[in-house]
Structure formats: structure tokens, C-alpha cells
Amino acid sequence: MTDFLLDELNEPQREAVTTTEGPLLLLAGAGSGKTRALTYRIAYLIHEKGVKPWHILALTFTNKAAEEMKQRVNDLVGIDANAVWVSTFHSACVRILRRHAELLGYTTSFSIYDSDDQKTLMKQVIKKLDVDPKIYKERSVLAMISSSKNELISDLEFNQIHQGDFRLRKTGELYSEYQRQLKMNNAMDFDDLLLNTVRLFQIAPDVLEDYQERFQYILVDEYQDTNTAQFKIVSMIAGKYKNLCVVGDDDQSIYKFRGANIRNILDFERVFPQARTIKLEQNYRSTKNILEAANQVIAHNMGRKKKTLWTDNDEGVKVAFRQYDSAFDEADGIIRDIIQNREQYSYGKCAVLYRTNAQSRLLEEKCVAYNVPYQLVGGVNFYQRKEIKDLICYLKTIDNGRDDLAVQRIINVPRRGIGAASISKLMDYADSRDIHFFDAICEYEHISGLGRAGARIGEFLTQIQALRAKAEFLTVKELLEQVLEDTGYRAELESEETVEAESRLENIKELINKAAGMKDEAGDPTALGRFLEEVALVAEVDNMNPDEERVILMTLHSAKGLEFPKVYLSGMEEGLFPGMMSINSGDPEDLEEERRLCYVGITRAREILVMSAARTRMVNGENHYSRVSRFVEEIPAGMLQQRNHDAEHRDALRMSSRGTGYSRPKAAVLSTPGNISYRLGKEFTVEKADQLDYSVGDRVRHVKFGEGTVTNIEEGKRDHEVTVQFDRVGEKHLFASFAKLAKIQ
């Protein structure tokens, strides 16, 4: 590498490139040029250190990132770079296992099961073991298995850990049979690719030594997103030469729900005592004002490595904060602001970010209303989401039953035991008599060959007829609630206890909000038809010119790694962001991850950042008053640009007591009680109990983590600190006043 290439780097980047021997932790803040440092490091190893390209392994998380890194390395060093292993963790593991799978009892032509294959197999396992599918949902069981594999817990170990818990013991039986079936099918799921690579290295030291010799220099991008299995793979391969360079930012660790373990980056120097740490703190993306707002927010996290981003960029305008009367007004204000400033920031330069998928509904509708082209990234149109389409099809069937596709979609949703063969017989009967599919259902008793499915079809028909009768006395919102209750649709999702199910439930609540906005009277015969017509008009707007500039709508999780000239952070309210689950969990790590997510959102903006909140937001069809998010309050008021009426209201909110965000009436939002439990994230007081109603060794239950055993209690100055070994999620350290642990008698 010639000197002029090194001259393109700042001093910490040059140090990161030229420090080639031994373990290295590269703490790379947002927009600090980490990809450049990584690719230059590979080029430096090849050109200046004489390292053979095939002795270098570079790991990242997405195929897109891997391809980008390959291209950049090729541009720097030429054709030799093709011999560098640049791949995702899973791709690297597949290459290794394709050569050595026979040592684990597989053939080298093993299959890889995707999520659909996994669900199909788990359904078969549940049926084979005669387990109640209403209690043990395949999604929730698979999620628990995935979490265990990420932590390197085999089915045998899982059963040993949970042998005292009947339900988890049954889950362990499903885990064991699932693994047995995978092995019989000569197949691995995605988590097995990681777990089996670790096992391969453990049972075949000679194979591990071959890869240690092969990969003498290892680089890992986005290290804060690694799970325990990925950490183990990297540490084992790097065990001989220890030339391991990991690049990441603990302040951007936001994928705990996918198994990411932030301790991997926080404890790197402890695991590798000889490690050197270099911080990349110069930001090339954002203005000084935006960067300082990000620094102020993230500084409130305790579990982080201290660093402060800075930039030579312009000061820029202040971060804007706007509070609207309602979520409807917020969406309207954001889209109108985009339109009004279109000459300076075209549609394609604007991104609207939000915490939950459900928030996109109002924004999408406003884009349609104002004819603003938009692109929904990392998701599908609100009305095209499975759970929304299911419920709309129920309403269509109740309305008239003439939409054959709608009826066919829901006849076995939730599952009623009406299979494809029975549905085919109904369709054939309808075709032969030139009648609608629902009319064929009404005549199911005359259709031969239905067998036991006939009774279930009859139950479905009775259910629809009952809902039609109720519709005459209900509003659209009430009818939708009745559908969720009578069909068991909501109960089925709630029983899954997965992140995906929680997201689907949030979307359903947003559909209820939409129905509540109808303002119809109970029994209005035209209301349901008008609602379905309005939904259909919004759902059909996705046929836009792909060459047209569009406003980007996306969740904060989807926005990681991206940047935009102008960013809107919407829904900055307590209970929404941070969410209620993180507020009530009693685990400080949950709130810290939410704050990291906010930090990610702020640092997506290059020039303009607008944060917004709503005083009232509809939740499950009812209006609730909301406090401004603590993350907004953690930015000093002098750094924010606010409208006068918004500023006055925010001052009142600063003085009010903290609550759950969604549970208090308006009077409480604007009151100023004397006991201030939270202010600007610096003062934190709780009401410490004189004594706890449980002690070490007792079994307790937590609203989020389930059941566990108390292993330690320490009496702190402000609260009791309780350590619990939970059956499902392992050890947690909690504050007693927030955890609200209930002793199991």
C-alpha cells in the first residue's frame, strides 16, 4: 500500500490499519468510516505485510455488506483479493461443514432448512408427540430452540437445565425430537450451522488446527451483533495466532431480540487481556448539532465504553422537536412538512423512522391523501400484512360473503382442521353449481367425502352467521374486537410469546384504531361497507412508478447502517419509545437497548433531524395521553428548536411525575406532584420496600421473564438488588421495586 492511500485516513484509522498483530478492538462510532478502515487493513496486510490473501478471513452479517467489502478490497489490491474469505458467518460455516459434515453424522450434501421448513417440521413433531398445539405453538417452541442454540445449549443440556419445570421439560422433548428428525432428514437449520461448526471444532482438534493455520488474520465487522455461538467460532479459530480484529460499536447494539450478546464487545479486553483498543470517534456524516444530541442521549447509558463522537462538519441547524395534539396530527404534520420543504429536500432525501411497524399506518395514509410517493422499507404495506389481511377477509365475509378468495383465506384461520382437500371439494361443489364459495359452505351437508372436516366447516359457518347477527348491533370497532375474541385469533398470537407475534398484535391494535376512527353508530348498516371501501382504496396505492423519488418509511431497526439528509423520528413518547415492556421489565439492560436504538435513529441524519411526539395516541381503539420520551428530555432544552406552544407544554411535562406513559389521564400529564421520580435521566428514585416477601432460594414469577429461583439479594442504598436464575432466560439482575417479583407459593 502506497503512502498516499494511508494519507487518506485520519490518525486513529491509520493506527487501526497498521496495528496488525495480536487482538485488536476497534470501537467505531456511527459514521466514523469503519468500512474504509477494514478494507484498507486487508489491503495493508497483503501489500505491506506480505500476508497471503487466503490467510485472511473477514466476517460480516449480511450478503450485501460482504459483497461491498469484497468490491472495495478488489478496488484497492486487485485480483489477489479474490482469495480472501469475505463472507457472512453462516456462509463461512456452510463452507466448513460441506467439507467435514461426515464427522458429525451428516453427509456433505446436507440440506439447509429455512423458516418455513422449520415450521413444517415442528408441526409434524408436535403431532407425533401428541402435544397440544394450542399450548405449544410451533413459533414459540422454535424461538426457544433458536435462543438455546445461539447460547450453545443442546437439547440434552436444555433438558438437564429444565428438568424441574413440566412445561419446559415438554419443550425439551420437542427440541430433542426436532433435532432427531433434522438428523434423519440430513438437514440443518440456520442455527445448526453455527452450533455444528463449534461442535466440529470441539470433536476434531485437527480440523480446528487446519483452519487456525489457514486463517492467521481474522476480521469481524459489526461485532456488537454477534451471539455466543459466533463469538465461540471466532475465538476458536483465532486461538493459535490471536490476530483477531473486531470492529463494532456497543452504542449501536440493538439486536438482543435476535440473540446478540453485547457482552461480547464489552468484555473483549477481559477475554483477550493483550488486546489493544482504538477508538474511531470522528464522524463524517452528521452536523455538530445532530452529533451532540446523540452524545447527550447515549451518555445516560451505564453499560457502555466511553467515547464521544465529534466532527469537522458544519454546526448545522438545531435539532427540531415538535409535539402534536394527536398521532393523526403528527403524521399529518410530518408529511405536510416534507411537502413544504420539497424544493430543498426532495422526497428521496427524507426518511421517517418509527419504533413499531404499526406506526406506519397513519403515515402511509397521509402519503396517499397528499399524493406523496413513498417506499416502505423492511416491511410490507400495512394492509398487506398477514394478520391485517386475515381480519379484513373476516370482515368481508361477514359483510356479504361474495368474495370467494376472502372466505377461502380464513376458513382455516386460525387452524380448525379444515385441510386443502376439504377446501378443494367445496370449490368443486361451488363450480359445479355456479355459486359462491360461501354458498357452498352453507350446503356443506350435501357434499360427500368431507368426513370429520364437515363438522368443522359447520362450526365455521355457525361462527360467521353469529358474527353477522352481532354486526347489526355493533360498531365496526366492536365487531372487529368480537371477531378477535370469537375466533381465538388474538389468543393464538398471545400464546406464541414471540417477538413476531408481539409485532402482529401491535398491528392488530392499529387496525382497531383505524376502525375506532370511523365514528359510526352501533348497527349502522353502511359502516362496515364504508370501512372496507376506504381500506381497499388505501391498500391499492402501491402501484407507483419505481423511478419516482419516494419518501422512505421504515422502522429504526431497519435503518441501522443507512443515512439520509433529512430524518424524522416520530412517536417520541413514553410507553412507545421506550416501550412499555422495557419500562416495566425491571431489567436496566432493556431500557439501555432502547436508548441505543434512539442513538441509532439520531445518527442516521446528516443535515436535518426532526423529532416529534403526540400528546394523545390511540391504543387499542381508545385515546391515551402520553408523556414526552425521556430520550427527548435527555437532550438539553437549549439544543432543541421548538415551537412556542410545544415548548410550554414540554416544560409542564418536565415537571410532571414519570408514569407508564399511556395509563394516566390528562390531568396527571399536566400535574406537578412533589415526588419527582425521574428527571432528565439523572435523578432516579424509587420507593424502597422495608422488606421483601421472598428470600434467597424462593421461587418467583416475573411478568416478562417467567418463573425462576432467587439466588442472591443485596440491599443497596436506593433499592434491593435481586439476582434471579430464570428457567427460560437465565440469570438476571433486577431492582426489586421495578421487577415486582411475585413469590410462588
Measuring CA to CA, how many Å separate 666 from each of 626, 655, 663, 670?
9, 14, 10, 7
Q: Report how far residue 456's alpha carbon sits from residue 82's, in angstroms, rounded to the nearest whole number.
A: 59
Please, which residues bridge with residue 217 across strands? 56
Q: Report how far residue 263's alpha carbon sits from residue 305's, in angstroms, rounded to the nearest whole number.
A: 11
**Would you call 60 helix, strand, or coil by DSSP?**
strand
Q: Report how far residue 175's alpha carbon sits from residue 122's, in angstroms, rounded to the nearest whole number.
A: 9
Contact between 561 and 569 (Cβ < 8 Å): no
Residue identified by cell 440434552 is 156
Q: Report how far residue 555's alpha carbon sits from residue 579's, in angstroms, rounded to the nearest whole number.
A: 14
Q: Report how far residue 234's alpha carbon sits from residue 223's, in angstroms, rounded to the nearest whole number.
A: 11
Q: Report how far residue 462's alpha carbon sits from residue 445's, in angstroms, rounded to the nearest whole number.
A: 13
**Would you call 88 helix, strand, or coil by DSSP?**
strand
Q: What DSSP state is assigned to residue 662?
A: S
Q: Which of 251, 246, 226 is nearest to 307 (CA)?
A: 251
Please, which residues bridge with residue 43 across strands? none
Residues designated as active site: 34-35, 221-222, 252, 604
Amino acid at site 314: D
Contact between 733 and 723 (Cβ < 8 Å): yes
Helix (H) or strand (E) segment spanning residue 730? strand 730-735
φ and ψ of 707, to 5 deg: -95, 150
φ and ψ of 708, to 5 deg: -165, 180
Per-residue cell: 650 = 414540554
Please, which residues bridge with residue 623 across strands? 618
